[in-house]
Amino acid sequence: MKKVLFFSDFGIDDNIAVLYAFFNKEIDLVGVVADYGNVSKQDALRNAAYLQKLTGRPDVPAFAGAELPLTGDPPEYVPDVHGIEGLGPIIPDIDVDYTLENFHGIQEIIEKNPDDIIIVNVGRLSSLAAAFILYPETMKKVKDFYIMGGAFNEPGNVTPVAEANFYGDPYAANIVLTQAKQPVKIIPLNVTSGAIVTPALINELDEHYHTIGSEVGKLVKPMFDYYYKFYKERDPELTGAPLHDVLTLWALIKEDHVVSLEIPVKIVVNKGEAFGQSIGDFRNSIDKAEYPVHKVAINFSYTEFIKDFFTTMKNSQ
């Protein structure tokens, strides 16, 4: 089992990724960090608690993450894509004590499991950067980092060149990519955009949830339909919607089915047209740029992804 500490901004693909992690027999979810991003930090924490309740997993601690980027700019939430509360059309009836688990708790988890914790970050990188600032020694004991972020040699989804998770806090992304002691596994937008899940597959899962009386039946299809509608309006040719954050988790358990390149990576932190852009040096030459080297995914097996997604999501009780 892989011990995963999951940093997320609890929008729709994030929430499906959390369910995927709960249901995956190869993942031991040791905690989630609820960050601002797609929604506010408070909504993210509430969504974490809602997912714990639906899946009967209150044992997985939810830590309060960041509520602002290190840039000092006000956060911009994304209701068009993820719904007003990050759950598509759903407004959950649950109250949560938002200060239940203090962020410092993540340090204890890492210290108790040296070189065994894999951090997966699928939102802005503000909390993860804060962990490097606050606990530099502890962060050296993290086994691996997987990050959904950036767009390499293809358009971004916020600006022509920048992807949402990096654009939302490029200072934080820069801290993480310069301070990690090992190459970070980056699963960028140009790759995750291929993780298309169709409405037909979701309908099949929905039927399954209703047949077995699973509580997640309340959530998966309504959230997905909302998310798909947004993508379909933007690109009528799409046959489904990309589950960016699920692919990032999948990449860590099915590494053999992901093609990556170790290349120098830089984040543009100067305000201007390229703010938040991720630049990878893909040149085939010995005089590559002197940025820190990271492992950037360039392709994956779609067939394997879909097969595994469907099987795993059916594991719901």
Contacting positions for ligand BDR (CB under 6 A): 11, 13-14, 38, 78, 81, 122, 148, 157, 163-165, 189, 244-245
- The encoded tokens of residue 257 equal 């089915």
- The encoded tokens of residue 281 equal 């040096």
Cβ(139)–Cβ(131) below 8 Å: yes
122 binds Ca ion (CB under 5 A): yes
Of 102-110, 119-127, 207-215, 248-256, the segment contacting Ca ion by CB under 5 A is 119-127
**Rounded CA gap, 178 and 165, in Å?**
17
81 binds Ca ion (CB under 5 A): no
Residue type, 216: V
**Rounded CA gap, 259 and 262, in Å?**
10
**Rounded CA gap, 136 and 130, in Å?**
10
Cβ(241)–Cβ(231) below 8 Å: yes
Of 4-12, 178-186, 225-233, 262-270, the segment contacting Ca ion by CB under 5 A is 4-12
Dihedral pair phi/psi, residue 196, rounded to 5°: -80, 125
Q: Which of residues 13-72 bind Ca ion (CB under 5 A)?
A: 14
Looking at 31, 92, 123, 188, which residue binds Ca ion (CB under 5 A)? 123
- Pick 14 or 169: Cβ nearer Ca ion: 14
- List, in order, residues 6 or more apart from 192 with CB less than 8 Å away: 148, 242, 243, 244, 245, 247, 248
163 binds Ca ion (CB under 5 A): no
Minimum distance of ligand BDR from residue 117's CB (angstroms): 21
The entry of ligand BDR, Ca ion, none that residue 157 binds, CB within 5 to 8 Å by partner kind: ligand BDR
**Rounded CA gap, 146 and 117, in Å?**
11
Minimum distance of ligand BDR from residue 111's CB (angstroms): 28
The entry of Ca ion, ligand BDR, none that residue 189 binds, CB within 5 to 8 Å by partner kind: ligand BDR
Of 1-9, 85-93, 130-138, 171-179, the segment contacting Ca ion by CB under 5 A is 1-9
Element (H, E) at 121: strand 117-121
| DSSP-derived 3-state class of residue 258 | strand
169 binds Ca ion (CB under 5 A): no
The entry of ligand BDR, Ca ion, none that residue 35 binds, CB within 5 to 8 Å by partner kind: none
- List, in order, residues 6 or more apart from 284 with CB less than 8 Å away: none
| DSSP-derived 3-state class of residue 260 | strand
Minimum distance of ligand BDR from residue 286's CB (angstroms): 33
85 binds Ca ion (CB under 5 A): no
| DSSP-derived 3-state class of residue 52 | helix
| DSSP-derived 3-state class of residue 296 | strand
Minimum distance of ligand BDR from residue 317's CB (angstroms): 26
- Pick 123 or 242: Cβ nearer Ca ion: 123
- Pick 78 or 216: Cβ nearer ligand BDR: 78
Minimum distance of ligand BDR from residue 257's CB (angstroms): 20
* Nearest-CB residue for ligand BDR: 164
Residues contributing to the site for Ca ion (CB under 5 A): 9, 14, 122-123, 245
